[in-house]
Amino acid sequence: MPRLERSSSLALGLSSQEDAIVALLADTCRWIEQTQPQIEPAAGVEPVHIEYYEGWRCEARIAGGWVRDKLISQPSSDLDVSLSSLTGHTYALLLSQYLRSADFASSQLAQHPVFNADAGGSSKQPWLGSITRIEANPEQSKNLETATAVLAGLSLDFVNLRKEVYDGETRIPTMTFGTPLEDATRRDTTINSLFYNVHTREVEDLTGMGINDLQEGIIRTPLEALQTFTDDPLRILRCVRFAARLGYRLDDGIWDCLESEQGEGVRAALRDKVSRERVGIEVDKMLAGADPHRAIHLLHALGLYPLVFLWPLSEPLKQLPPGSTTVNADALGGEATVQPAQTALLASYILDGFYRLVLPDAPPTLHFEDRRTVLNSAGLDYFFGAYLHVRETGLLAPLKDKEQRRRLFLAAALLPLRHVAAHERLEKWCWAGEHVIHNGLKLGKTSTREPLAALYRAADILEQPELNKLVVDHQDSFVRWIPHFSPRGVAQLHWKAIAGLLLNRQPAITDSRIGVNLPSSLLITMVFDVAQRLYSALSGPSDVAVGLKNSETSAPSIFDSEAALNALFCAPREYIYFWHLVVDEWQLLPRAEERPRLDGVQIKEAIGVAPAILTGRIQCAILAWQFLRDAPPAASDPSYPSWLAKEQEKCSKWLSEEWQEGRIVPPEERVFVPPPKEGSKKAKSAQKGQPSAQTKGASKPAKKQKSQE
């Protein structure tokens, strides 16, 4: 985990671009003090008059995250510039004026390689991007006007030093110009309260704790935790995020605050005062960070889990049918209950173990325990050791991808809501997790909501993937999840064909539009299965409900339960073997989005009639035929066009023969045009005995079939 060594110098090692920017900020302040300029009139720039006075000073400091990351040798390209006497937008405009001035052109800095063409820079100003003014927007945590610009390839935000005054009713403060100390103490943590003074080129630790906390690995609030969190409850989530990201421990003052009587008031303020968009942004960053499992663990330990992952659910909740995430009210089951949050912790812990198997450079296991341990992991390490060979397969590949990993850990966090439906609108109900993502976290539809819903549908489909399910007439056969599949006419199909159809035709398992695939679907299904079996084996009726775990209560060990051991060491074997068969032996994963060899026109030529509403069913049979043949060459292969022409010819011949023999679709089911809607013109004409276009279209296939027989 990144720390500041005690022996390390506090002098920051700056890159060439950073060195030039620091010098430019200092020179700009000096130029403003000496020349006392006003903003030059320009289109789209609101005139601002600057009141100068004797002794007026302009100071610039780089604040927060960039200083922290430079001290612990972490990459950072975003600089927050805090100004003593000007608003961010005003200073940015003056900086632009200085860069165009004769004073800058004649300065030593103008010869710096970043700015000088002869020294490798540019003679113009592409190194200064356009300045964007961002109006104050308290609802989005933009409490003061700021400005942004890209300078020498780095992103800069400009804002004045701030003093915040809260009235206790909202998290939106009254903002005024402040001193460096007032600005430092209003921040979320001491390690984010550090300044880099561009004039002295020194790090300033005005709280007196930031440097020490970087050395010790502590997340601490600049003021008393209750004061910091009461002023802005969102800071609770930011503390959790940085603790998880950096592998630091939370200061005892934070634990004391959340465990005290005032803790409930702080949690209520987080629920009532902070917009759900802001909550969602912080949680999303946690799950996309270096250690999403620890973030979930801390949220639970601090009693924040219900506020984050169960809000705004309300009674009544209903049972959701398996394989569904959106249904009408008449398809729902009885009353549903939310499972204990420990199921989410177990699922997250299992995912985390696999994550560390495939990414040796993942954050190291913490050298300390958080003050509240809500999960006894004794024995789980043996589980991961027993499945070391799994990391060599592609089953764990999604954990190497940051976006896939984010979704998987969010899916684990929402496990208590599995098979739970919440009311959406009118007669529509949806999976409760989707309701939370949309209304509670305000995360995107395509990026999060749809992929998570697909993962949960896939978990119902792929759970316990025993090979018998690849048999068409098995009671729980996979074929019930294959759209347009009918066992009529195809009763005998090879297991490989069924597996191929499942991957190809079931959008909950394969949908490149939203990034859903077999590895992520099968992996999360296995994690859900193991976590829920393990929880059932370890828990009793008096187990801890959602919320804070009693510190005197210790979780049971897996070694105390034979069922727990079976859940850990037996259940995954089905999934691993299924993966081996489908991916390694049958090599179906690259064919998951393979298109049918014949389109509608080619099918018509083969069977002698337009397939109409039977197209999907016929193409399903064609795909089954394809999956029993060799995989196609790459589309870029020179031999592909001739190979495709031959395959289409063979497929057309096969389809024609099967059709004439009464297979694919039995003759009595060959209805090519759907019946007219009641009350339509076609229905009325049919009732009068007049031959409609539909009647004529439907009679042709029958005549053709008769001639074939």
356-369 pLDDT, tens digit per residue, is 888 876 666 555 56
pLDDT surpasses 90 at 563? no
For residue 278, name the pLDDT band (cuts at 50, 70, 90). Answer: very high
Q: How far is CA 310 from CA 37, 82, 413, 436, in A?
A: 54, 38, 10, 6
- Strands of the sheet containing 326-328, edge to edge, are 318-319, 420-425, 428-431, 326-328
Predicted TM-score (pTM) of this structure: 0.88
Q: Which residues on neighbouring strands pair with residue 516, listed in sequence order? A: 511
SS3 content of the chain, % helix, strand, coil (to 5): 50, 10, 40
Q: What is the pLDDT of residue 417?
A: 98
Q: What is the pLDDT of residue 707?
A: 38
Report angle CA 362, 365, 366 to the nearest 5 degrees.
Answer: 125
Q: What is the pLDDT of residue 115?
A: 85
When computed from its CA atoms, the radius of gyration of the chain, rounded to whole angstroms, is 32
Name the percent of the chain lying above pLDDT 70: 83
Burial environment of residue 331 by CB neighbours within 10 A (0 to 12, 13 to 18, 19 or more):
middle
Report which residue type is found at 370. Answer: D
Q: What is the pLDDT of residue 699?
A: 39
For residue 703, name the pLDDT band (cuts at 50, 70, 90). Answer: very low
pLDDT surpasses 50 at 68? yes
Q: How far apart are CA 320 and CA 337, in angstroms?
A: 11
Q: Which two tokens stand for residue 325?
A: 């995430």
pLDDT surpasses 70 at 652? yes
What residue spans of 82-209 are helical by DSSP H? 88-100, 102-105, 180-185
pLDDT surpasses 70 at 695? no
pLDDT surpasses 50 at 545? no
What residue spans of 192-275 are helical by DSSP H? 210-216, 225-231, 234-246, 252-259, 262-273
Helix or strand (DSSP H, E) at 451: helix 450-462
Report angle CA 495, 497, 500 to the nearest 5 degrees.
Answer: 110
Between these two residues, 679 and 666, which has the higher pLDDT value? 666
Q: What is the pLDDT of residue 708?
A: 38
For residue 43, name the pLDDT band (cuts at 50, 70, 90). Answer: low
Q: Which residues on neighbouring strands pair with residue 204, listed in sequence order? A: 195
Neighbouring residues of 681: CB distance < 8 A, sequence distance ≥ 6: none
For residue 37, name the pLDDT band (cuts at 50, 70, 90). Answer: very high
Q: How far apart are CA 478 and CA 139, in angstroms?
A: 48
What is the fold of 16-216? Beta Polymerase; domain 2 (3.30.460)
pLDDT surpasses 70 at 490? no
Determine which of 85-94, 121-130, 305-314, 323-332 has the lowest per-residue pLDDT on average: 121-130
Phi, psi angle pair for 147, to nearest 5° = -140, 150
For the chain, first and last CA: distance in Å? 76
Q: What is the pLDDT of residue 621?
A: 94
Phi, psi angle pair for 479, to nearest 5° = -65, -20
Domains of the chain, by residue range, sit at 16-216, 310-589, 600-634+641-708
Q: How far apart are CA 625 and CA 617, in angstroms?
A: 13
Mean pLDDT of 31-59: 90
pLDDT surpasses 90 at 51? yes
Q: Dump the DSSP string for 329-354.
A: GGG--SB--PPPTHHHHHHHHHHHHH
Determine which of 7-21, 291-305, 496-510, 604-618 has the lowest per-residue pLDDT on average: 7-21
pLDDT surpasses 80 at 539? no
Asked if residue 78 lies in contact with residue 66, where contact means CB atoms within 8 angstroms, the answer is yes
